[in-house]
Amino acid sequence: MRLLNVPPRTRLPLIAAATLLVLAGAATVWWATGARAPGAAVATGCIPDPAPFLAMDLQAFDQGPSGWRRFEMVLDCEAETADLIRAYRDRHAPDLTPAQATGLYWHEGQLRASAGETVPAALLMERSIFAGEDRWSVLYKEATVAFLRRDRGALERARAALASLPAEDRRVGSTVSREIPNLARVDGLIACFDRPYDIAYACTSAPSQAGQRPGAPRD
């Protein structure tokens, strides 16, 4: 900001306003990325006692039905569940590999997006991308961030790049199919672009078939 030609009487309010904007932006990044007291968690209406969850091993906490996923389908508990994931990540940070930590960033971001906290959600999802990650996974995350930031052009470009990748085998029970991972999910984000994230996440390619809150279980 150039203030050389601004009268002194006007200069101080401008400087003060610019300082507030910088501090607000820094606070958003600080809050979204978990820069706070390590492992801090408080009892809430959705999670009266977080201590047993914070003591779980990573597999049980992040992938098992008794970890944070116990609350993912509970309406209006998304933000508190996201706080639980952040507290777990903070507490166990020294023991997590980059891939494990970024998985927690991604799931926290999904829950914050479902809670309507789109700005920190997008920051968390960007932070979840790590070196060596599968290309289809990176493009899926980029598409989701574009959706949250209401950037349809970026969403469609990520979709086109994802669609250009080779299909992979996917097993569901005894059935094996060939598909591009998460392409259908990205198609749903496009089809339901004007809907909230938790509905668009469960959307099919036809908007009329969009899911209702709370959305589908999160990958």
pLDDT in tens, 154-182: 999 999 999 999 999 887 777 888 899 99
The verdict on residue 12 lying in a domain is no
The verdict on residue 78 lying in a domain is yes
The verdict on residue 51 lying in a domain is yes
The verdict on residue 4 lying in a domain is no
Cβ–Cβ < 8 Å for 187, 159: yes
Task: Tell me which residue range forms the domain holding 53.
Answer: 47-133
Percent of the residues in the chain that have a pLDDT greater than 70, as a whole number? 74
- For the stretch 101-122, pLDDT in tens is 999 999 999 999 999 999 999 9
The verdict on residue 89 lying in a domain is yes
Cβ–Cβ < 8 Å for 102, 129: yes
The verdict on residue 65 lying in a domain is yes
Give mean pLDDT, residues 113-142. 96
The verdict on residue 164 lying in a domain is no
Residue 72: pLDDT band by 50, 70, 90 thresholds? Answer: confident
Q: With 90 as the cut, is the pLDDT of residue 208 above it?
A: no
Report the domain count for the chain: 1
Q: How far is CA 34 from CA 109, 201, 202, 218, in A?
A: 11, 24, 27, 21
The verdict on residue 60 lying in a domain is yes
